[in-house]
A and B are shown apart, each in its own frame.
Chain A
Amino acid sequence: MAQSRVLVVGGGLAGLSATMRLAELGVHVDLISLVPVKRSHSVCAQGGINSVNALTRQQGDSEWKHFDDTVYGGDFLQHQPPVKEMADWGPRIVDLMDRLGVPFNRTSEGFRDQRRFGGTLYKRTAFAGATTGQQLLYALDEQVRRREVEGKVKKWEFWDFLAPVRDESGRCRGAVCQDLVTMQFRAFPADAVVLATGGNGLIYGRSTMSMVCTGSAVSRAYRAGAWYGNGEFIQVHPTAIPGADKLRLMSESARGEGGRVWVPRKPQDPRDPRDIPEAERCYFLEERYPKYGNLVPRDIATREIFDICTTDGLSVEKDRLCVYLDLTHIPRETLDRKLGGILEIYEKFQGVDPRAMPMKIFPAVHYSMGGLWVDYERSASGGMVEGALRNQQTSIPGLYAIGECDYQYHGANRLGANSLLSCIFSGLFVAPTLANVGSAAAAKQEEHSRLFEAEIRRQEDRHRRLLARTAGDENPYALHQELGNLMTRVATVVRRNDQLAAAYDEVCRMAERWERCAVSDTGNWTNQNVVFTKALGDMFPVAKLILKGALMRDECRGAHFKPDFAMPGLAATDPDAKRREAEQWCDTFEANTKRWLKSTIARCDADGNPDITYQDIDTSLIPPRPRLYGLVGGEAIEEVWKERQAAAARARGHAASQVVGSGVGG
């Protein structure tokens, strides 16, 4: 059998970890990236990477609890076996990154230090200053460079993935890509193609994401027939620094290290924040969520910050919405050691020293929980079978997806410091699968070359047509901004059906207007203008599936919040009435679970419009339960819920013993 060849698209954490392991397994890798891989968006991840560790284990933590926190934080919208497998791999992955030389912060004894992140009560997060993503990426970049020198990897930097190429049976046989310098097209035949192209924040205009996060590669796969899962679940990070070109992330680790979020009790108190006495400050997260405090899951922190500014009118400033994130009570030396990187960003871009003055922050679009639908092979123990061909495979055979661009690990809301884990995990885990795909027979390859030629011609035509479009009345940059503003307004923190429906129609019109975009650069050398225009065109199908998915999902789950379908806490104070309300609450919850605890699956039609269906979720390991962080009457609801679970368990036990007794069971 010929040596197999894999095309990895994207050189962030997921793409690099897959490449590293594939090279070890003797598979030749072509690695395509829009930018030199060392500049991938993973460098922006700040806070850390989660795994159970020796310390938390002795406090009662376990892989199972990490798994439980992840599905509970994600509102149970994930298939559980992949999440369990990921949590099980956590300790091994952090150990591996440690061996690769990542300069994790250390305790006085020389062990890895850990901090606490949102949605958990354990200090599970290993970190390297406040630039953990950068440090992890560099370690993988170094290993891949080493394999490149050995001739096992070929990097294609400044290349754009344009389309997967499928044979008559529908199987992916490679891809067509474009050189962003010479603008030439090239066929990349491969036994398997894996997309590791990250999120799609640019659909929202400004976000915490890098300029390459257009989602175009995923959109191109989606248009070619790959299903898209849970598109409407977009994480809005609670704390970002507003900026004209970008909303820069202020890591959750700022709160993990003791940072406190507050607003003055007096609206727009004009005093210097340092002069406002404690009693006149509202630490609203600590007041409302005494257990988790400033470290509630992100969707909740985001809504609270948003609410205190909009509904309660307590924004720090009058002309723009923001709250204080305060680190000034923490010693400077500690801040520099543990958070240096992010504090420098604030200082550089805002011109204010956050060690001396509370920062002003506001939520921003941050992460795509949804992404390409991918499959997995469940193991007997409830995890995944390593090396199985189905793992991470999209609905197109031979086309795989890993990292932020798959939909698999974070459900309706991602916990902080879990993304670095899921990216590295899915990259490492998919490698043996890809190695097992095997190599196509030589005769077949000849047949495929005709398919590649046809796809190259198609892409060349599209490119030429765009270059010839100089007379249109639409400006791609202005249209992008318009799309971003609309998406940010209707499809982020708070969602309403009338707005979503109107926005869907508006995006359809924008997609039509895109056809009239004029390019201002007609040259065929490093033409960023035409590359951007193409990527913009690819944003509309994804924007549509986000909007339609959000419109159709009439409930609140994780990051998807519709006030019209919210389940408020209990109003009654009298114990009996409270009990009745709790019963009703649980009834509603059960009905809602039955109706909506399903993956949203979008398929793209010929016009780029989504066809949406729902798929049941494997929740066989941890039964879904109400997410009660800080809900009024939460204890009463929890009590009723536990009684019901116990009764259900007894009933199951009873039924099982009857079956065994009748001799039918096996």
Chain B
Amino acid sequence: MSHRRGLQAADNVGRETMIKATESAESLSHVGDAPGHSEPHRVVRVRVLRQDIAGGESYWERFEVPHEPNMNVISVLQKVACQARSQDGRAVAPVAWDCCCLEEVCGSCTMLINGRTRMACSTLVDKLTAEDGEEIELRPMSKFPVVRDLVVDRRRLFRALEKVEAWVPVEGSYDLGPGPRISPEDQEDAYPLSTCISCGCCVEACPQYSKVEVVRREGESEADFEKRRTSAFDAGFVGPHAISQAMLFNSHPTGRMIADERLEALTGRGGIQMCGNAQNCVAVCPKSIPLTRSIARAGRAATVWAIKKIFDR
């Protein structure tokens, strides 16, 4: 058996940047390349709404990178970082953006691409340019404070999960045997809700969800600042993702043991009454989670619970 090559990486992420390649492009081109060939000199143009610092002024900057078959918005940003030059050739700091898994399961890389909230990893350039024209526009999400460029502070998403107690209240991790038996139907009902990646697309598209930006005051302690920020978060709409998580745990045999606490949270300040039924959330969810179904269920449960509360008084 002869093995002449190791597993050779295709140098696809910016072949033009190879400075002292140890391999010829020829021998590298066998593995992993996307099928088809890019036309020579074809470029991807992108304009990015930048902001250097939290609370700073925003400005547009244009970039141009070589086109490659099957490339996604992440690859474009990777090339922008690598060349660190604007379209007119000025040396500029690379665009900052969040990403992690690149396969649409971590929820990091949400941004406004051609005005629509979506994941940069699963947004393919060719499809985008075919639909919307040549230049791609990237903006940070508008419902969260900008940290820098396309990076936003989404901690409010996670605060909402605390608020609705999105967990199964187990006693502890000691061995107490298996969990409850669950029918395949119930599992198939719960599983899609459980695939929520906390990307924030639903709240970005929601007309009822507005930006909450709390700035630390001079001399304010970290603890006081956090308390004030949490309170501001809680005053705003909790969001479709959190309502759906509340319904997920209220349907679990153990999770529903604190169903009332979740309904209390959902009917309080920033709760389900704020939903205006625009149904944008479900339209933009990258995981196709039936968010409006969760909201409808939550609405019914909240009504029943409110009536029960009156009679229990």
Interface residues of A (CB under 8 A from B): 20-21, 24, 35-36, 38-41, 43-44, 92, 94-96, 98-101, 103-112, 128-129, 131, 134-135, 138-139, 142-143, 145-146, 148-149, 157, 181, 204-206, 210-212, 236, 242-249, 306-307, 310-311, 317, 319-321, 337, 341, 345, 348-351, 362-364, 428, 474-475, 477-479, 481-482, 484-486, 488-496, 499, 506, 520-523, 525-526, 528-529, 563, 566
Given A489-B8, A523-B93, A525-B53, does the pair A319, B35 have CB atoms closer than 8 Å? yes
Tell me the minimal C-beta distance from A341 to chain B in angstroms.
7
Q: Which residues of B contact A348 (CB under 8 A)?
A: 104, 122
In the bound assembly, the distance between CA atoms of A60 and B167 in angstroms comes to: 36
Q: Are B7 and A492 in contact (CB under 8 A)?
A: yes
Of the listed stretches B24-32, B39-47, B231-239, name the one at the interface; the rest are far from the partner chain.
B24-32
Q: A96-B175, A142-B166 are in contact. Are A35 and B70 (CB under 8 A)?
A: no
A residues in contact with B177, CB < 8 Å? 95
Which A residue sits closest to B249, measured CB to CB? A101
Interface contact B158-A482, CB-CB below 8 Å: no
Pairs A–B under 8 Å by Cβ, sample size 17:
A20-B173, A36-B154, A38-B107, A44-B105, A100-B179, A143-B170, A145-B167, A205-B13, A236-B7, A321-B32, A349-B70, A478-B19, A478-B82, A488-B9, A494-B6, A499-B6, A525-B148
Which one, B54, B92, B168, B181, contacts A101 given CB within 8 A? Answer: B168
**Interface segment, one of B94-102, B294-302, B303-311:** B94-102
Q: Is residue B212 within 8 Å, beta carbon to beta carbon, of the partner chain? A: no
What chain B residues lie within 8 Å of A212 (beta carbons)?
100
With A100-B170, A485-B22 as given contacts, are A38 and B10 in contact (CB-CB < 8 Å)? Answer: no
Within the assembled complex, what's the spacing in Å between the Cα atoms of A478 and B17? 6
A319 to B18, CA, bound (A): 21
Q: Which of B113-144 contact A (CB under 8 A)?
A: 121-122, 124
**Chain A CB within 10 Å, residue with most, of B154, B155, B179, B190:** B179
Known: A43-B106, A206-B13. 4 other contacts (CB 8 A): A94-B178, A100-B179, A206-B32, A521-B84
Which of A135, A319, A484 is B9 in contact with, Cβ under 8 Å? Answer: A484
Q: Which residue of B lies closest to A485 (CB)?
A: B9
Residues of A within 8 A of B52 (CB): 523, 525
Return the chain A residue nearest B85 by Cβ. Answer: A520
Please give, as numbers and ranges, the residues of chain B lying within 8 Å of A103 by CB-CB distance: 182, 187, 190-191, 194
CB contact between B82 and one of A109, A345, A477, A525 (< 8 Å): that residue: A477
Which residue from chain A places its CB closest to the CB of B72 in the assembled complex? Answer: A245
**If A39-B107, A477-B81, A481-B14 touch, does A242 touch B19 (CB 8 Å cutoff)?**
no
Chain A hits for B179, CB < 8 A: 95, 98-101
Quick check: B104 and A521 within 8 Å, CB to CB? no
Chain A nearest CB from B88 CB (Å) reads: 16
Q: What 10 pairs across the A-B complex have the smallest Cβ distances?
A: A520-B84, A110-B181, A98-B179, A142-B167, A521-B93, A488-B9, A242-B32, A477-B82, A101-B168, A526-B148
Q: Are B194 and A138 in contact, CB atoms less than 8 angstroms apart?
A: yes
Q: Assess the A493–B7 pair: CB atoms within 8 A.
A: yes
B13 touches A245 (CB 8 A): yes
Cα–Cα, bound, A205→B195 (Å): 28
With contact pairs A248-B102, A489-B9 given, residues A106 and B22 touching in the complex (Cβ less than 8 Å): no
Indicate if the CB atoms of B6 and A489 lie closer than 8 Å. Answer: yes
Asked if A92 meets B175 with Cβ closer than 8 Å, knowing A103-B190, A475-B17, A488-B8, the reply is yes
Whether A492 pairs with B151 at a CB distance below 8 angstroms is no
Minimum CB distance partner of B122 in chain A: A348
Q: Distance (Å) between the CB of B75 and the closest chain A CB?
A: 5
Q: Does B217 reach chain A (CB closer than 8 Å)?
A: no
CB distance from A22 to the nearest CB of B (A): 10
Q: A99-B170, A320-B30, A521-B94 are in contact. Are A485 and B1 (CB under 8 A)?
A: no
B208 to chain A, nearest CB (A): 24
Compute how far the CA of A217 lies from the CA of B52 in the bound complex, rounded to whole angstroms: 28
Cα–Cα distance between A311 and B2 once the two chains are bound (Å): 7
Whether a CB of chain A sits under 8 angstroms from the CB of B252 is: yes
Q: Across the interface, do A341 and B195 meet the contact criterion of CB distance under 8 Å?
A: yes
- Provide the residues of chain A in CB contact with B255, threshold 8 Å: 101
Report the minimal beta-carbon distance from B10 to chain A, rounded to whole angstroms.
7
Report the nearest A residue to B189, measured CB to CB.
A103
Q: Which residue of A lies closest to B196 (CB)?
A: A138
Residue contact B18 to A481, C-beta cutoff 8 Å: yes
| Distance in Å: Cβ of B79 to nearest Cβ of chain A | 9
Nearest chain A residue, comparing its CB with the CB of B123 = A348
Q: Would A35 and B106 count as touching, CB distance under 8 A? A: yes
B5: interface (CB < 8 Å): yes
With A244-B70, A493-B7 as contacts: A134 and B105 at CB distance below 8 Å = yes
Check: B274 CB closer than 8 A to any chain A CB.
no
Compute how far the CA of A657 lies from the CA of B48 in the bound complex, rounded to whole angstroms.
81
Residues of A within 8 A of B81 (CB): 477, 528-529
Known: A145-B161, A311-B2, A317-B35. A246 touches B173 (CB 8 A): no
Bound-state Cα–Cα, A521 to B29, Å? 32
Chain B residue with minimal CB distance to A490? B6
Q: Which chain B residues numbered 182 to 206 have a C-beta less than 8 Å away from chain A?
A: 182-184, 186-188, 190-191, 194-195, 197-198
